[in-house]
Amino acid sequence: MLRRWVVSFINPSHTNRTFHTSKLLRTAQIIDGKKIAGDILNEVKQSVESWVQAGNRRPKLVAILVGHNPASKTYVSNKVKAAKSVGIDSETILCSTDITQVSLVERIQSYNTDPSIDGILVQLPLPKGLDEKKICHSISPSKDVDGFHSENIGNLSSDKSGIIPATALGVRELIVRTKIDTFGKNAVVIGRSKHVGLPIALLLHADGNGETGALDMTTTICHRHTSHMDLQKFTLLADVLVAAAGVPGLITKEMVKPGACVIDVGITRVKDAQGKFKLTGDVDFNGVKEIAGFITPVPGGVGPMTVAILMKNTLFAAQHNPKRT
């Protein structure tokens, strides 16, 4: 009863009581990112085998890890494992924290011109003193499997086929494969980072008749300078709410439209009461699952999708550069 009052108070324009009541009695469907990522990896594996059987070289990914960030080590190790599981060759390049910008760029340039390599990624964040933007832009756009280079972002912005940032495409796949209705609906993306929030918003808002598989949604981007009061006004309109702010627990149930699809991109390592690290999303999962129609967990939601799409992007890079031997 109290919950129904809260919802009608925060969203007085919502008059469909039957829908309200039924939604309040049901909890959200959990979107299983691990399962969907597994499906994508199986598809990529089959495509890799067909590609190799047609006489092409096996795709190869180079992952560059600078320094000793434990989270970065885990992410790179997950990427290498995923590559192995789909039949993509991979090599991890370990660089010490004191590598200079010039030496790192020189190494990347040598991989750019190496015809046996299809995909290159530099795991972020980089140690202080290295300019992430310049490093990411030194990767050849055709081998930039993270899709961070401005040429790839430019293609995405122009509805042109290209390498799409892995997390953004992962979010799109979660929405589409869960069969969420998107055409003409409202989306709100919280976070405007160039690698995550912005490309997600580009994929959600753009014309589905273009080459990128965009979703034709009316899309609003909120960010750190959106006041909390305004943030709630926007989020309550969202049929699809994507939280990519990196602020644990930012999205509470009062901010969510009943029945909405809530995608949690946040993964912050926080210490629990026992002093152990755990991954925490931007969404108060337990509260929001009572209101939302669909919700991704953390971990097990967007994270595995980024890795699976990275494999898809590596195969794409190989297939769109057939001259490599």
Of all residues in the chain, what percent are helix, strand and coil, respectively (each to 5)? Answer: 45, 15, 40
Q: Least distance to ligand GUN from the beta carbon of 63, Å?
A: 8
Q: Find the binding residues for ligand GUN in span 278-317 (CB under 6 A).
A: 306
Strands (E), 67-169: 89-95, 119-122
Active site residue 79: yes
* Cβ nearer to ligand GUN, comparing 23 with 192: 192
Taking CB under 6 A as the binding criterion, the range among 13-21, 118-126, 221-229, 236-244 that sits at the site for ligand GUN is 118-126
Q: CA-CA distance, 136 to 205, in Å (whole number)?
A: 25
Query: Measured from the CB atom, is 122 or 241 closer to ligand GUN?
Result: 122
Find the catalytic residue in 23, 60, 79, 312: 79
Binds ligand GUN by CB under 6 A, chosen from 90, 142, 152, 167: 167
Contact 21, 283 (CB under 8 A): no
Catalytic residue among 123, 253, 257, 312: 123
Residue from 166, 198, 214, 217 in contact with ligand GUN (CB under 6 A):
166
CB closer to ligand GUN, 165 vs 293 = 165
Q: Which is nearer to ligand GUN, 259 or 301 (CB)?
A: 301
* Nearer residue to ligand GUN within complex by CB, 166 or 262: 166
Neighbours of 202 (CB within 10 A): 22
268-271 and 277-280 beta bridge pairing: antiparallel
Q: Which of 7, 40, 66, 121 binds ligand GUN (CB under 6 A)?
A: 121
At closest approach, how far in Å is the CB of 54 from ligand GUN? Answer: 29
Q: Kindly state the DSSP code that residue 40 receives in the 8-state scheme.
A: H
Site stretch for ligand GUN (CB under 6 A), options 19-27, 94-102, 115-123, 236-244: 115-123
The Cα-based distances of 109 to 120, 122, 135, 144, 151 in angstroms read 10, 13, 10, 12, 17
Q: Out of 47, 90, 123, 296, which residue is the one contacting ligand GUN (CB under 6 A)?
A: 123
Cβ of residue 87: shortest distance to ligand GUN, in angstroms?
A: 21
Residue 264 near ligand GUN by CB under 6 A? no
DSSP-derived 3-state class of residue 32 = coil
All residues at 6 or more sequence positions from 46 whose CB lies less than 8 Å from its CB, including other chains: none
Minimum separation from the CB atom of position 266 to ligand GUN (A):
12
Distance from CA of residue 79 to its chain's centroid?
Answer: 14
Concerning whether 123 is annotated as a catalytic residue, the answer is: yes
Site size for ligand GUN, by CB under 6 A? 8
Nearer to ligand GUN, 61 or 166 (CB): 166
Sequence-separated (6 or more) residues with CB below 8 Å from residue 182: 175, 176, 204, 215, 216, 217, 239, 240
Which residue in the list 146, 239, 264, 284 is annotated as catalytic? 146
Give dist(CA 1, CA 15) in Å, integer: 16
By C-alpha distance, which of 160, 250, 262 is closest to 202?
160
Kindly tell me which residue out of 30, 80, 99, 124 binds ligand GUN, with binding defined by CB under 6 A.
Answer: 124
Distances in whole angstroms, Cα of residue 274 to Cα of each of 240, 277, 284: 35, 9, 20
Active-site residues, by number, are: 79, 123, 146
Residues that bind ligand GUN (CB under 6 A): 121-124, 146, 166-167, 306
